[in-house]
Structure 1
């Protein structure tokens, strides 16, 4: 089934109660007690030709301890590497990992020659469309925790994603460029696909993920959709770190803008509130897409 084109509308930003329940409330309290991870060393900002990128302008720069990185790939362009903005260093995934969890489970189902069970499909839909954590817990265990994710990601072409310890899927670490690799496995229909060199997911699996990502609940339809013109499909993640009170806020997906289709990944951490993190991610998404378009 082709994914639905969702028109852009300004969604309601969820409050604190929704924020906490929307990502990791269903996992053990030890997950939130893990504490903030030290910021990665600053790296030279990279330019939008090929894999090089430019730093964000002052209007987007994160304030205080916050940091942000964005990656954009024009699916209708000639390049196959994303434009990067900011240091392409690891961030906590929070709930964006749910797309990777579903991709891993679908690969396993393909290998077995059987589709997802009725129960697994119900869990997948809750996990992606409503960011349900109980469903994510079940599918995380089903794929085999971090080792199972690692095996799937090798086939999906991810090189810089490390699954969280034990049941702590929200503490998986990833980079913006790795998220673009995952999104390519779901959305790309370019020359590599026609040449039979990718992706690992079959057409049915890809269409299923696209459909769920284009049907997320209205109060979670923020993030990279801020850069869209006529349609989008996305997954967001948010997590407040217990030891610092600071927030990880991420958004990944596919958008349509100016007649082109873009894959966009924006990762941030160190935000003083979820609201501030959403605002930062949306500013970064708009600036990264407009800058990439200009080049």
Structure 2
């Protein structure tokens, strides 16, 4: 597909800069951009680790088609990785993490634990990616509350899906990383994200050693445009290779323009392997998810035939009145009276 191939070349224009002079042959676009693109991973405390991870992530994306965004944060090491992390994607089922955070936050504000029904819905929504449960919770949340959750987390670009279409929420890897930071402070949220059924536990789990637990949520959805969206976000906690160093980092991997779900999962897992190798080390508990274990069935977060995002509202027409702040336009009747020719004042009869 031509568009996918072009996006592949555009991605290499950035990735070529990450490896510098390694003797590898790069496309012409990569050669031209080499001096301009910033490092993928940065760390004031461990710059050598950041440089190595930049190379490993770039190598994982070599020859992969599609559009991929990466956001990683390890607060303990002061390390961040960013690749296209402000690009917008349809959320698909990772929007359920936002719903989870909003429901738990509302219960906390009301000074109570989640109701039994809320707890049942949240568990089904996160561990099995149940869409009916997600829709029920979504419809009981106001848009004002959901937007406040995003704002308080520091998410800057996420736009909620219209009506009941929470799966069409538009988001970025950077915003998902911010939301994960907020979610990581809620024990109940972490518990649920640590119980995802094995058939859906692909993506950011790939490459994690046995000493590290990955709490995750995935999304997988094909649409008429951008083919398959395949996303995986997670929080990794545990101990490193020495058994004493604490491990605590977050990663958000988003993608679209994938020809199949399997292809997208393989791309994201290559990045996840590089991240876990750099930040946790040790022998991976599992490698790539076998192809036969990846279903090509969509996550159902957006019903087939659902309309896309609503177009932006048209600009307001120019106003004749109220140019200055605080002024109020007069009624049409009053305006018409001012414009009408004045009648001569009648005089009392003598």
TM-score by length of 2: 0.60
- Contact in 1 for aligned 2:127/2:196 (Cα 8 Å): yes
**Where do 1:208-287 residues align within 5 Å?**
208-230=188-210, 231-241=213-223, 243-244=224-225, 246-256=227-237, 258=241, 259=245, 260-287=247-274
Question: Which structure has the bigger radius of gyration?
Answer: 2
Name which of 42, 61, 65 aligns with 1:49.
Answer: 42
- Superposition RMSD in Å: 2.6
Residue 160 of structure 1: aligned partner: 157
- Contact in 2 for aligned 1:45/1:86 (Cα 8 Å): no
SS at match of 1:216: coil
Q: What's the CA shift string for 1:37-89, capped at 9, x where partnerless?
A: xx8x977565311599958424414644x111111112432x2x632134531
Residue 72 of structure 1: aligned partner: 72
SS at match of 2:61: coil
Instruction: Name structure 1 gaps, 5 residues minimum.
Output: 1-38, 189-205
Instruction: Name structure 2 gaps, 5 residues minimum.
Output: 1-6, 15-36, 45-49, 282-350
Name which of 116, 122, 125 aligns with 1:127.
Answer: 125
- Shift of residue 186, structure 1, vs aligned partner: 2.4
SS at match of 2:232: strand
SS at match of 2:102: helix
- Contact in 1 for aligned 2:68/2:84 (Cα 8 Å): yes
After superposing the two structures, state which structure 1 stretch, 125-134 or 105-114, moved more: 105-114
Name which of 89, 110, 115 aligns with 1:117.
Answer: 115
Aligned residues between the structures: 233
| Greater relative contact order (Cα < 8 A, sep 6+) | 1
- Contact in 2 for aligned 1:250/1:267 (Cα 8 Å): yes
TM-score by length of 1: 0.71
Q: What's the CA shift string for 1:118-141, capped at 9, x where partnerless?
A: 111100000000000000001111
SS at match of 1:227: coil
